[in-house]
Amino acid sequence: MFNLVIFGGPGSGKGTQSEKLIDRYGLTHISTGDVLRREISAGTELGKIADSYISKGNLIPDDLMVRILASEVDSLTPSSKGFIFDGFPRTIPQAEELAKMLEKRGEKIHAVIGLEVPDDVLTERLLERGKSSGRADDNAETIRQRLDVYHNTTSPLREYYIKDGKYKAIHGLGSIDEIFDRIISHISM
Ligand code: ATP
Ligand code: MG
């Protein structure tokens, strides 16, 4: 298996680039944001809890998020060539749990693709997306909070994965295809 993490701020293009990586390499996509939004649309108890965090731009607590991720991984494992984790981990404890979870299966993370995009561009993209996304978190106030959370809580993972030798910094400005070419030049599989 070849397991990738796609990492970056809100609106950095994780979902977009994941789709292209899946097409090319046949990886199984696990997007925690998509999983949570499905629960919200279905009106489940979990969805109600998730919405109370997401709509304020905050993270779902680690213990709950880790359980959600584990059940996704369990439901998808057998036929896959590898996973692409999109939106997870977002905290150091989540990264530690992910490593343990994979280790139990004799697996590991091979590379972390870090999409590097400045805040002003992220804000612009998310405001633009908000015009049509219908997402409760794509509005100016919530975007500010998401960026704060990203810088305070998620971005330390960059150093964490640099130390691990897994982090691949990708310049995240340009066309979707240009960015994709940069990504594939960094992964050998
Ligand atoms: P992108 O546009 O690059 O795909 P994004 O930040 O817009 O990224 P999602 O990854 O879909 O969006 O996440 C949306 C929200 O879901 C987060 O702001 C957070 O509230 C919640 N969430 C998603 N993944 C996690 C996680 N690993 N831990 C905690 N909360 C999460
Ligand atoms: Mg996304």
Q: What is the pTM of this model?
A: 0.94
Average of per-residue pLDDT across 141-156? 98
* Nearest Cα residue to 99 out of 19, 160, 187, 18: 160
38 among known catalytic residues:
no
Question: Which residues lie with the beta carbon below 6 Å from any ligand 1 atom?
Answer: 8, 10-15, 32-33, 36, 53-54, 58-60, 65, 87-88, 90, 94, 137, 146
Q: What is the pLDDT of residues 77-121, one digit of tens each?
A: 656 789 999 999 999 999 999 999 999 989 999 999 999 999 999
pLDDT value of residue 76: 83
Task: With beta carbons less than 8 A apart as the criterion, state whether 160 and 95 touch.
Answer: yes
pLDDT of residue 187: 85
Q: Is 125 a catalytic residue?
A: no
Which whole number is the average pLDDT over 149-157? 98
The answer on pLDDT for 18 being more than 90 is yes
Q: Is the pLDDT of residue 125 over 90?
A: yes
In this prediction, residues 143-161 reach a mean pLDDT of 98
Q: Is the pLDDT of residue 22 over 70?
A: yes
How many whole angstroms separate alpha carbon 137 and alpha carbon 130?
8
Q: What are phi and psi of 184, to 5 degrees?
A: -70, -25
Distance between CA atoms of residues 95 and 100, nearest Å: 9
Q: Which ligand is nearest to the CA of 97?
A: 1
For residues 18-30, average pLDDT: 94
> 37 catalytic, yes or no?
no
Q: Active site residue: 14, 37, 168, 182, which one?
A: 14
